[in-house]
Structure 1
Amino acid sequence: MEEMLFKQLQFVRDHTLKVMAGVTEEMADITPEGFNNTIRWNLGHIYFVLEVFAFEKNELPTKMPEDFSKLFAPGTSTADWEDTTLPTINELTLLLQDQQGRIKATLENHLHENSKNPIVTKSGLKLVTVAEFLNFNLFHEGVHVSTIKLYKKLLEK
C-alpha cells in the first residue's frame, strides 16, 4: 500500500511535468478571461501545498523558496503580485522534479503516523495521518493540472 501511494504521487507529478511542456514564460503569466490566476500561479501552488502537507504539517524542514507563501498559498492571487521576483518556469520545474524524491526519502516509513498539525479542508475532509495528507494531494494536484491544461488550450488559440 505504501509503495503504491508513492507510485501514484510520482505518476501525478510526471503528468504535471508533461503538461508543463511548451509553457513559455510569457504564457505562464497570462490570466485567461474569466479566471483568477495563471499557469505560473497554479504550478507554484501545487508545489507550495504539497510542501506544506508533506513537511510543514509534520514539523519537518521545508524547501520553501522566499516569498512562496506570499505568492502561492491558498487564497493568494496574481492580482496581488507587486514588486516580487517570480520563479521562472525552469525554477518551478526543478522544484517540482525534486519534491517527490524528498517526500519519499523523508516519509516512507511514517505514512500511518498522525500529522503534528491535522486540518479540515474547505470541503470538510479531515486530514490526520501523513498518508491522508499525501492522498489528498493526488486530488489537489489533479485539479490544478486540469486547470493548467485548460489554460494552455485557451492560450494557444
Structure 2
Amino acid sequence: MTIFDQYKLTRGLFIDSISPIAKDLIDLQPPGFRNTIHWQIGHVLVIAEEIANFPHRSKSSLPDNYKKLFGRGTKPNDWPQNVPSMDQLVLDLQDQVNRIGNMSSEQVQERLTEPFDGIDRFEEFASLGLFHEAMHLGQILTMQRILEQNHSSYHDL
C-alpha cells in the first residue's frame, strides 16, 4: 500500500466518522478541551495542506483565512463571524486528498529545504501527517461522546 493509498483510506475514514456528528454539537467546547469539533476538523485540513503542497510548505490552495482560524495556536474563542461551514470543510478535505493523490513523482522526490524535526522526505512528512490526522480523529470522537452525554443529560432535566 502506497502512502497515497494510506492517505485516501485515512481521509475516507476521517470524513465517514465526522459526517454523522450532530450539527448542534460541532461548535460546543467540552469541559477540559481548548477547542471544538469544528476547530479540530479545520485544523486537520490546514496542517495537511503542508503535505498537499510538498515541498513548499508555506504555499496553500485554501482560502487565506483558514490558517488564522485553524492553524497552530488558534482557538474558536478568537474567531470572527465568517467561519467556513462543516459542509465546506468536508468539500475541502475531499479536494485536498485528491490533490495529494495527484502529486507528481518529481514533487514527491523533492526534499524540504528546511527539515521539519529532522524530516525532509515526502513519505516521512506524509506519515507524520497521517499520524496527526488519526490523533485528531480520536480527539473528535472523544469530544463527540462527551458532548452527546452532556447533551442528553441536559434534555433529561
Q: Which TM-score applies when normalising by structure 1?
A: 0.85
Q: Decide which of 68, 76, 79 is 1:78's aligned counterpart.
A: 76
- Between structure 1 and structure 2, the one with the greater Rg is 2
Report percent identity of matched pairs.
Answer: 30
1:131 is matched with 123
- Unpaired runs of 5+ residues, structure 2, are 150-157
Distance in 1 (alpha carbons) for counterparts of 2:124 and 2:52: 10
Match of 1:99 in 2: 96
Matched-pair contact (CA < 8 Å) for 1:56–1:62? no
Cα separation, partners in 2 of 1:140 and 1:98, compared to 1, 3 Å: same
Q: Which secondary structure state, in structure 2, belongs to the residue aligned with residue 115 of structure 1?
A: strand
Residue matched to 1:141: 133
Aligned to 2:50: 52
What letter matches 2:65 in structure 1? D
Runs of 4+ displaced beyond 6 Å: none
1:87 aligns with 2:84: yes
- Aligned pair count? 149
Indicate whether 1:150 and 2:142 are aligned.
yes
RMSD: 1.9
Q: Which runs of 5+ in 1 are unaligned?
A: 121-125
Which of 110, 114, 122 is the matching residue for 1:113?
Answer: 110
* Separation of aligned partners in 2, 1:56 and 1:78: 28
Cα separation, 2, equivalents of 1:76 and 1:62 = 18
Deviation at 1:104, TM superposition (A): 1.9
- With over 3 angstroms needed to count, the CA separation of the structure-2 counterparts of 1:60 and 1:119, relative to structure 1, is closer
